[in-house]
């Protein structure tokens, strides 16, 4: 199983004072069970060279899960849908650079989260014009790198009041329109909860359209991108999500998109890995066929008995 840690959980932790990305890689390499790290572009490449990252990964025996785009505040009015053509083009250029770096570092997937492509007021945007811009930009990037995986991470809101692409169905519709096999979807557990989606159902839909590319695992109370430890709030939905990941033979990265602020980020990440493995083992112990039989019964009491078996273990 592949488990990836979030650099900023360490870089921005009050426990560590002004540490570099290379320091973070060294700390993360000591986490029990970790296999990958993920870097943001351009954020994490401001003071270091790609070659230095490559050396650090080899030295500490870690792989790169991928590069995540972090578009800065010049895109405040939108990345691919910005009303200013020049800014739209800069967004495309930065995305291309991110895929190139991901490839240089043998990363598995470049993840696009469009923080600013959305709207806040009625009459603020022309929706279909914006979606056209979205499709054109994604096609341009995806066609340039037919052998690279590029994944779209949707989020319903924050920082915009509405995102253009804010749920699983709109994402799958968008990817259909883009029409490139190398583009998929990254499912962020908190983002799904924010949209009141049931995460396992979103996973099933992504598989149905052959677009599943990445997981961002975490937990929260639904309204906000809380970034809590996995299973801490929605235990059964996390178990169900892991069950379907197994059922559909998900072999991608399990990236913990959590925000340990008061917690030791090493212990927090280890706890996430332990929890994932424990839930995974629980399903193995019950048996995939048995869980499928349980689902086919459509019996809520039998499901509650599954929860009983989780806590009675
Ligand atoms: Mn995420």
Give the Å distance between the CA of 16 and the centre of ligand 1.
23
* CATH architecture, domain 2-311: Alpha-Beta Barrel (3.20)
Strands 109-112 and 63-69: parallel
Give the Å distance between the CA of 62 and the centre of ligand 1.
21
Give the Å distance between the CA of 227 and the centre of ligand 1.
9
Give the Å distance between the CA of 153 and the centre of ligand 1.
7
Give the Å distance between the CA of 308 and the centre of ligand 1.
31
The reply to whether omega before 42 is within 30° of 0 (cis) is: yes
Give the Å distance between the CA of 4 and the centre of ligand 1.
12
pLDDT value of position 17: 86
Give the Å distance between the CA of 184 and the centre of ligand 1.
14
- Show me where the domains of the chain are located: 2-311
Give the Å distance between the CA of 40 and the centre of ligand 1.
12
Q: Residue-wise pLDDT tens for the chain (313 aa)?
A: 999 999 999 999 999 988 999 999 999 999 999 999 999 999 999 989 999 999 999 999 999 999 999 999 999 999 999 999 999 999 999 999 999 999 999 999 999 999 999 999 999 999 999 999 999 999 999 999 999 999 999 999 999 999 999 999 999 999 999 999 999 999 999 999 999 999 999 999 999 999 999 999 999 999 999 999 999 999 999 999 999 999 999 999 999 999 999 999 999 999 999 999 999 999 999 999 999 999 999 999 999 999 999 999 7
Three-class SS of 228-272: ECCCCCCHHHHHHHHHHHHHCCCCCEEEECCCCCCCCHHHHHHHH
* Alpha-carbon distances of 222 from 174, 196, 226, 256, rounded to whole Å: 24, 7, 8, 17
């Amino acid at each position: 199983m592949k488990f990836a840690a979030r650099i900023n959980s360490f870089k921005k932790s009050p426990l560590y004072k002004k540490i570099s990305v290379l320091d973070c890689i060294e700390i993360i390499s000591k986490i029990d069970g970790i296999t990958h790290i993920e870097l943001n572009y351009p954020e994490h490449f401001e003071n270091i060279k790609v070659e230095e990252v490559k050396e650090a990964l080899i030295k500490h025996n870690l792989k790169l899960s991928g590069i995540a785009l972090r578009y800065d505040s010049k895109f405040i009015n939108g990345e691919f849908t910005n009303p200013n053509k020049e800014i739209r083009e800069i967004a495309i250029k930065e995305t291309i650079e991110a895929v190139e770096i991901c490839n240089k570092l043998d990363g598995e997937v470049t993840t696009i989260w469009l923080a600013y492509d959305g709207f806040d007021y009625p009459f603020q945007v022309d929706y279909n014009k914006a979606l056209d811009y979205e499709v054109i930009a994604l096609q341009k990037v995806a066609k340039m790198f037919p052998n690279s995986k590029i994944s779209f991470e949707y989020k319903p809101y924050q920082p915009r009041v509405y995102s253009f692409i804010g749920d699983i169905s709109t994402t799958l519709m968008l990817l259909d329109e883009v029409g490139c096999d190398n583009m998929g979807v990254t499912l962020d557990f908190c983002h799904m909860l924010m949209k009141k989606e049931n995460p396992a159902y979103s996973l099933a839909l992504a598989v149905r359209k052959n677009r599943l590319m990445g997981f961002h695992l975490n937990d929260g109370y639904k309204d906000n991108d809380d970034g809590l430890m996995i299973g801490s709030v929605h235990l059964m939905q996390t178990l169900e999500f892991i069950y379907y990941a197994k059922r559909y033979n998900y072999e991608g990265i399990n990236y913990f998109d959590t925000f340990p602020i008061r917690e030791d980020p090493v212990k927090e990440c280890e706890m996430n890995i332990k929890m994932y493995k424990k839930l995974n083992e629980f399903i193995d112990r019950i048996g995939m066929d048995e869980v499928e039989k349980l689902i086919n019964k459509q019996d809520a009491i039998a499901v509650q008995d599954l929860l009983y078996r989780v806590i009675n273990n």
